[in-house]
Amino acid sequence: MTAERNAAELYQEDKALEPSDSTLKAVLGATLTLMALAILWEVLVRQFQVPAWLLPSPSLIVESMVEWRSELVGHSMVTLYETLVGFALSIAISVPLAVAVVYSPLLQNTIYPILLALQSMPKVAIAPLLALWIGFGTLPKIVVVFLVCFFPIIVATATGLAAVPAPLMDLIRSLSASSLQTFVKIRFPTAMPHIFVGLKIAITFAVIGAVIGEFVGSESGLGYLILVSTSQSRTPLAFGALVLLTIMSIVLYYGIALVEHVVVPWAPRN
Amino acid sequence: MSKIHIEGLIKTYTSKHGPVTALKDVSLSIKQNEFVTLVGPSGCGKSTLLKLMGALIRPSRGTLLFDGARLLHPTRDVGIVFQEAVLLEWRTVLDNVLLPTEILGLDKVKSRGRAMDLINLVGLAGFERRFPRELSGGMQQRVSLCRALIHNPSVLLMDEPFAALDAMTREELGFELMRIWDKDKKTVIFVTHNITEAILLADRVVAMTPRPGRIARIVDIELSRPRTIDMEFTQKFKSYSDQIREVIYHGTGASRS
């Protein structure tokens, strides 16, 4: 009898859990809105005969993107490389450091204020110094990306590791679990959804960080391309680079979301 | 020899406003396989007393003997159920139940068999592969009960385990708990703020009062087992209820009849 009732309860819950068609509607809605905006933009630019060096029409932007495709792809690869390496480096350092901070009150008291100070410094202001210290190659860009990603990841990880419900900690303690068991079986899995929140925030910053690095001084990358093409009044090409940056950012974000979906299927959906 | 023997137990905390006495001079002996409920309003120290019995906190003063020995560290002879099921969301029902056996390093095959038996016993057969988020609150709490019993402890500590559930599920789980206890006898210490639940389940009800937390009265419940829902409406039940209400509300300024 109870099993029957349980099954009924479960059925209801299942229905609630089923992904509705709202995601599809959201995607469709966003696409239609974007298309409407592009059309409006096109019409206004043509109607008022806005010069292309000031504000190019969407059709002109697409045209120049096709024309400059090989350059755009090349520069995109540079920016993507800087972004991904900086981001990966940030994960590799932030996550273990967050673990250390959570387990050591001493580190928590000494490292956190430094991190906060570092985070409060505008990265745009640090970028020229990095160029001074480590030159104009890809490395200073990777460092900027690392710096912008670092904080959200470490804060999210530390928060997640501390998010184990008190009764669960009591339960684990009542079984005299070792620190390692507690970390592997409880703390780290509990932190995973939080870590992914940090990663998703960080990846959107990462692209910005790479562009900031490129603005300060470089010979390649989409940031460099924007700088050069605007200075030469090749505005459609600058817009083309901007479009690619936006797409890169969105694709990376959803890439992380996809990894999250696979690695942390129990994470709450937004 | 009593299973748990407590004498002159005192627990004080330090707070911003100075020391707070959570428990004052508590003495209580719990026999092997006895079902004891601790009942009282919030702040009466019933949960503190339960935590002390699990060695999750240390007493400030007094004696606490578990099987005749001083309880200094948590013992694996205890299973705990909390108000929230606190299941691991990334584990299936079966793997949640098995968690304590992994920590204690118990035999995998045997544990698995026992887990399946327990899951059947609480009416969750067929749900082993489900995840907690797919279960109702009542079902989650059943899983949490299985997890507390998996390593076959002789003592079960329950901290308001059904308080977050709706009234019907709560009643149902109460009877199910008694059925399980009847099959596989254990010493159960069950904290609740529900007087009816306290009487219906218990061999003995320990009524506690707050500020400072102490035992106000211990009532032996001489209702036959198995208990039934009709017993709630008997004269005897009402007299137990009155005895408990009397001490719980006495001196607090509140009155209820």
Task: Kindly indicate the confidence band of residue A17, based on its pLDDT and cuts at 50, 70 and 90.
Answer: very low
State the Rg of chain B over Cα. 18
Q: Do A13 and B84 touch (CB under 8 A)?
A: no
Q: Do B126 and A3 touch (CB under 8 A)?
A: yes
Number of domains in chain B: 1
**Amino acid in position A58:** P
Q: Do B134 and A171 touch (CB under 8 A)?
A: no
Question: Which positions ≥6 away from A254 have C-beta within 8 Å?
Answer: none
Q: Do A17 and B172 touch (CB under 8 A)?
A: no
Q: Do A6 and B123 touch (CB under 8 A)?
A: yes
Region at B86 (left for phi over 0; alpha for psi -120 to 50; beta for the rest): left
Tokens in use for B153? 């402890």
A window 178-197, beta carbon within 8 A of B: 181, 185-186, 189, 192
- Per-residue pLDDT averaged across A20-31, rounded? 82
- Per-residue b or e along A87-117, where b marks 16 or more CB atoms closer than 10 Å to that residue's CB: bebbbeebbebbbebbeeeeeeeebeeebee
Between A112 and A10, whose confidence is greater? Answer: A112
**pLDDT tens for residues A35-52?**
999 999 999 999 999 999
Report the greatest alpha carbon distance in chain B: 57
Rounded Cα–Cα distance for residues A39 and A155 (Å): 42
Would you give the DSSP letter of residue B134?
A: G
Q: Do A10 and B134 touch (CB under 8 A)?
A: yes
Task: Kindly indicate the confidence band of residue B60, based on its pLDDT and cuts at 50, 70 and 90.
Answer: very high
Q: Do B127 and A10 touch (CB under 8 A)?
A: yes
Task: Kindly indicate the confidence band of residue A152, based on its pLDDT and cuts at 50, 70 and 90.
Answer: very high
Query: B139 vs chain A: nearest CA distance in angstroms?
Result: 8
Instruction: Decide if B111 is inside a domain.
Output: yes
Instruction: Decide if B167 is inside a domain.
Output: no
**What pLDDT shows up at residue B177?**
95
Percent residues over pLDDT 70 in chain B: 97
Q: Do B86 and A171 touch (CB under 8 A)?
A: yes
The answer to whether B164 touches B87, Cβ cutoff 8 Å, is no
In B, which residues are within 8 Å of A2 by CB distance?
123, 172
Q: Do B76 and A176 touch (CB under 8 A)?
A: yes
B window 161-190, beta carbon within 8 A of A: 172
A156 CB-side CA count, 13 A: 20
B236-243: long-range contacts, CB 8 A cutoff, minimum separation 24: B237/B199, B240/B199, B240/B205, B241/B195, B241/B196, B241/B199, B243/B207, B243/B217, B243/B219
Q: Is the pLDDT of residue B230 over 80?
A: yes
Instruction: Decide if B215 is inside a domain.
Output: no
Instruction: Decide if B123 is inside a domain.
Output: yes
Tokens in use for A3? 């099993």
Task: Kindly indicate the confidence band of residue A25, based on its pLDDT and cuts at 50, 70 and 90.
Answer: confident
A-interface mutation test, from B99, B101, B124, B172, most A Cβ less than 10 A away = B99
Q: Do B89 and A266 touch (CB under 8 A)?
A: yes
Q: Where are the domains of chain A?
A: 1-48, 56-263
Query: B75 vs chain A: nearest CA distance in angstroms?
Result: 7
**What pLDDT shows up at residue B49?**
96
**Amino acid in position B102:** E
Tokens in use for B190? 């069950």
| Sheet containing strand B78-81, strands side by side | B78-81, B155-159, B187-192, B35-39, B204-209, B214-220
* B76 part of contact set with chain A, CB < 8 Å: yes
Which of A6, A170, A177 is the closest to B56 by Cβ?
A: A170
**What pLDDT shows up at residue A15?**
46
* A261 part of contact set with chain B, CB < 8 Å: no
**Lowest-pLDDT range of A67-71, A132-136, B122-126, B200-204:** A132-136
Q: Which pairing describes strands B187-192 and B204-209: parallel, antiparallel, or unpaired?
A: unpaired
Task: Kindly indicate the confidence band of residue B245, based on its pLDDT and cuts at 50, 70 and 90.
Answer: very high
- Which domain does B117 fall in, by range? 84-152
Instruction: Give the residue among B191, B170, B177 at the shortest CA–CA distance from B52.
Output: B191
Instruction: Report the residue of chain B nearest A189, measured CA to CA.
Output: B90
Q: Give the number of beta-carbon pairs within 8 Å between A and B.
A: 79
**pLDDT tens for residues B180-190?**
999 989 999 99
* A14 part of contact set with chain B, CB < 8 Å: yes
The answer to whether B97 touches B115, Cβ cutoff 8 Å, is yes
Count of CB atoms situated within 10 Å of the CB of B1: 9
* A8 part of contact set with chain B, CB < 8 Å: no
Query: B250 vs chain A: nearest CA distance in angstroms?
Result: 32
Q: Is the pLDDT of residue B254 over 50?
A: no
Structure-token match 């940031």, residue found: A223
In B, which residues are within 8 Å of A168 by CB distance?
86
Instruction: Report the residue of chain B nearest A181, measured CA to CA.
Output: B103
Q: Where are the alpha helices (DSSP H) in chain A?
A: 2-17, 22-47, 58-67, 69-103, 105-120, 123-134, 138-161, 166-174, 179-181, 188-216, 222-231, 235-263
Q: Is the pLDDT of residue A22 over 80?
A: no
**pLDDT tens for residues A179-198?**
999 999 999 999 999 999 99
Rounded Cα–Cα distance for residues B242 and A58 (Å): 81
Average pLDDT, rounded, for chain B: 93
**pLDDT tens for residues A57-108?**
999 999 999 999 999 999 999 999 999 999 999 999 999 999 999 999 898 8
Q: Is the pLDDT of residue B206 over 50?
A: yes
Average pLDDT, rounded, for chain A: 89
- Per-residue pLDDT averaged across B7-19, rounded? 90
Task: Kindly tell me the sign of the dihedral angle through the C-alpha atoms of A118, A122, A123, A128.
Answer: negative
Query: A239 vs chain B: nearest CA distance in angstroms?
Result: 44
The answer to whether B12 touches B21, Cβ cutoff 8 Å, is yes
In B, which residues are within 8 Å of A171 by CB distance?
80, 82, 86
Q: Is the pLDDT of residue A1 over 60?
A: no
Region at B214 (left for phi over 0; alpha for psi -120 to 50; beta for the rest): beta
Instruction: Report the residue of chain B nearest A9, measured CA to CA.
Output: B136
Q: Do A170 and B84 touch (CB under 8 A)?
A: no
In A, which residues are within 8 Å of B74 by CB distance?
173-176
Question: Which positions ≥6 away from A153 have C-beta within 8 Å?
Answer: A90, A91, A94, A95, A98, A195, A198, A199, A202
Instruction: Report the residue of chain B nearest A179, measured CA to CA.
Output: B103
**What pLDDT shows up at residue A6?**
52
**pLDDT tens for residues A161-181?**
999 999 999 999 999 999 999
Percent residues over pLDDT 90 in chain A: 73
Task: Kindly indicate the confidence band of residue A14, based on its pLDDT and cuts at 50, 70 and 90.
Answer: very low
Q: Quick one: CATH architecture of A56-263? A: Orthogonal Bundle (1.10)
